[in-house]
């Protein structure tokens, strides 16, 4: 389980005890809740009845704001207990504890029993089920007919040479669309991030992580090498994102 969490956050397992402090002050991890809310607001799903499953929910930013702004009920699952603890506390602070349930667990196991949702959110988790069509096949199993998938991932730029192992299961835009629609479902809407937007978002997050990293190094100087290696990896990833790997969010409706 630790390795799954580490992979999703581009970290080593030895770094896990420091992740809450490294990501302190960052609520939304790898997604833009406002964009997801905008997409869901256009579905016609009803407040008080719609049910949302957020797989790899992180600190609960997306699900909590969906509950607050749209009135949907939700279940969030993440493998990192400190994130779940934060999400539970934050839901209480935002007054939506009655609409949000957060559980610590492996989403690969959770999908075997979680079904008949109106929406399933898959945001920034990576290809844990391999190719995109495999992932879509798993996600649609959590939905009732006519339900919606929020797929917040991305695709390779057409002129990109092969990237590192982390990107082996991603495709260019045309192939990605083909895989997203491989079960006969309908892409209702899509949003593709511009390089400038990606750079701005990543720069803001990176500044926060750098500041937090310096505080950790002061407290634990013996961890300096490990922390600085993580910062270097983040800097390298930021150079890839938005240029060689293009972030995108799709709203997909399951075939009725």
Question: Can you give the chain as a three-state secondary structure string?
Answer: CHHHHHHHCCCCHHHHHHHHHHCCCCCCCCCCHHHHHHHHHCCCCCCCCCEEEEECCCCCHHHHHHHHHHCCEEEEEECCHHHHHHHHHHHHHCCCCCCEEEEECCHHHHCCCCCCEEEEEEECCCCCCCCHHHHHHHHHCCEEEEEEEEEEEEEECCCCCCCCHHHCCCCEHHHHHHHHCCCCCEEEEEEECCHHHHHHHHHHHHHHHHHHHHHHHHHCHHHHHHHHHHHHHHHHHHHHECCCEEEEEEEEECCC
Question: What's this model's pTM, rounded to 2 decimal places?
Answer: 0.94
Each residue's pLDDT, cut to its tens digit, for the chain (256 residues) gives 666 665 666 667 889 999 999 999 999 987 789 999 999 999 999 999 999 999 999 999 999 999 999 999 999 999 999 999 999 999 999 999 999 999 999 999 999 999 999 999 999 898 999 999 999 999 999 999 999 999 999 999 987 776 778 888 999 999 999 999 999 999 999 999 999 999 999 999 999 999 999 999 999 999 999 999 999 999 988 888 888 999 999 999 999 8
All structural domains of the chain: 2-11+35-155+163-194+247-251 (3.40.50.150)
Residue-level pLDDT at 160: 73
């Amino acid at each position: 389980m630790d390795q799954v969490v580490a992979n999703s956050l581009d970290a080593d397992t030895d770094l896990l005890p420091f992740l809450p402090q490294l990501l302190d002050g960052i609520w939304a991890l790898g997604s833009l809740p406002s964009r997801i809310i905008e997409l869901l607001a256009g579905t016609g799903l009803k407040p008080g009845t719609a049910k949302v499953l957020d797989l790899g929910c992180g600190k609960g930013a997306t699900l909590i704001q969906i509950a607050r702004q749209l009135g949907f009920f939700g279940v969030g699952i993440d493998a990192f207990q400190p994130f779940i603890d934060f999400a539970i506390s934050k839901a209480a602070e935002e007054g939506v504890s009655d609409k949000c349930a957060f559980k610590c667990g492996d989403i690969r196991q959770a999908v075997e029993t979680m079904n008949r949702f109106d929406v399933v959110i898959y945001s920034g988790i990576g290809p844990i089920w391999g190719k995109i069509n495999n992932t879509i096949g798993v996600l649609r199993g959590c939905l009732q007919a006519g339900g919606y998938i929020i797929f917040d991932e991305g695709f390779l730029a057409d002129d990109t040479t092969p990237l590192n192992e982390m990107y082996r299961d991603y495709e260019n835009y045309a192939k990605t669309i083909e895989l997203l629609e491989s079960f006969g479902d309908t892409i209702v809407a899509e949003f593709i991030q511009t390089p400038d937007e990606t750079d701005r978002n990543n720069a803001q997050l990176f500044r926060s992580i750098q500041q937090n990293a310096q505080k950790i190094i002061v407290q634990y100087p013996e961890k300096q090498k490990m922390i600085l290696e993580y910062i270097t990896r983040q800097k390298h990833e930021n150079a890839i994102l938005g240029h060689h790997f293009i972030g995108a969010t799709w709203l997909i409706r399951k075939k009725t």
